[in-house]
Amino acid sequence: MRAEEFVRMSRFLMANRTLQKVLALDPENRTAKSLEKRIEYSFTQLSFHAAPSGSSTVSSDIAVQRHRRNQLVMVVDQDERALLTLTERLRLHGFDVVCAAGYQEAIETLGSFKPIVIVSEVNFENGSVGFDLYLWIRTNSTTSDTPFLFLATKVDRNTLIAGKRLGVDDFILKPLDEDVVTASIMQCLARRKKFNGRQ
């Protein structure tokens, strides 16, 4: 079922939408009902990171024992394999993860969750590019100070200069090495913590 694939990729909003379509056609579908409970549980776990705007659709009725970092990382990439492997690796390192496959899905996800860092590819095949997402994040009051890392197949000089001038925290080259991405996230968070400690 496609909704289950979305859950594995941490694309919870897409998983929920897809599942609701299945349940509208077949309200007694046991597989769909079971997956709906898994999605609700995932939302409950991530409710700790709900966006402060009050627009969150995340339920927070169930108290969840947490043995993790309590830090949410958002990954935006149109490559579903990359989303899956990064989700798995980041979870192994104790991070909570939420993902999106493009600009619009990322914006909608940020309406529900406030990540501690955002990792996004630079170029999407369709629609807006990563810099559009970055500029939206920087002009939105709830995400304006969120650390941001770009994933790119190649980074030419102009892209690197533009990114650094705009305040992008780091560029990570593809093909992805999940350990490099994780190390970059940890370094970025440590750098931000040290900087904020000096203020």
DSSP secondary structure code for residue 170 in this structure: E
> pTM here?
0.84
Longest dimension (CA), the chain: 57
**Domain coordinates in residue numbering, the chain:** 2-49, 72-198
| Separation CA 116–CA 93 (nearest Å) | 15
Q: What's the confidence (pLDDT) of residue 128? A: 67
- 79-135 pLDDT, tens digit per residue, is 999 999 999 999 999 999 999 999 999 999 999 899 999 999 988 776 667 889 999
| H or E element at residue 155 | none
Q: pLDDT tier at 156 (50, 70, 90 boundaries)?
A: confident
Estimate to the nearest angstrom the gap between the alpha carbon of 187 and the chain centroid. Answer: 18
Phi, psi of 143 (to 5 degrees): -125, 5
- 41-88 pLDDT, tens digit per residue, is 887 778 767 776 544 443 333 333 334 567 999 999 999 999 999 999
> Measuring CA to CA, which residue among 60, 90, 75, 70 is closest to residue 179?
90
Mean pLDDT across the chain, nearest whole number? 85
- The CATH-assigned architecture of domain 72-198 is 3-Layer(aba) Sandwich (3.40)
| Separation CA 58–CA 38 (nearest Å) | 13
Residues 93, 72: contact at Cβ < 8 Å?
no
Estimate to the nearest angstrom the gap between the alpha carbon of 91 and the chain centroid. Answer: 12
